[in-house]
Amino acid sequence: MKYLIPAALAAVAALGLAAPASATGKMTCSVPQKSWKSQDALRAALTKQGWKVTKSKVDGGCYEVYGTDPQGNKVEAYFNPATFEKLLVSRRGKILYKAPAGHKH
């Protein structure tokens, strides 16, 4: 029995190395995928506007970007994947910008 414990610990440690990913529900977009532009195009457009993009991915059908906005805030931001409209900018849960309600995304 006691020899099993380090083995069990190793198994737990191995589990810890796998990172799951899933939709967070912070923002959802329902844009047909064939109208999406690439994430690279979004990164390029944002860089031009003064953003520094650390990472981008898809979340809830939107493009989610981590980086520094033109004002110098480290933020998490959501964009419409077809129009690149800015939908939500937040910093650790604090909303810094939200697109006006009624916008279709």
Binding site for other proteins (CB under 8 A): 1-3, 5-6, 9-10, 12-13, 16-17, 19-20, 24, 54-55, 66, 68, 72-74, 91-94
Question: What are the beta bridge partners of residue 65?
Answer: 56, 77
Helix, strand, coil shares, percent, the chain, to 5: 25, 30, 45
Coil, strand or helix at 39: helix
State which residue, 45 or 95, has the beta carbon closest to other proteins.
Answer: 95
State which residue, 1 or 101, has the beta carbon closest to other proteins.
Answer: 1
Measured distance CA(97)–CA(39) in Å, rounded = 21
CB of 32 to other proteins, least distance (A): 26
State which residue, 5 or 101, has the beta carbon closest to other proteins.
Answer: 5
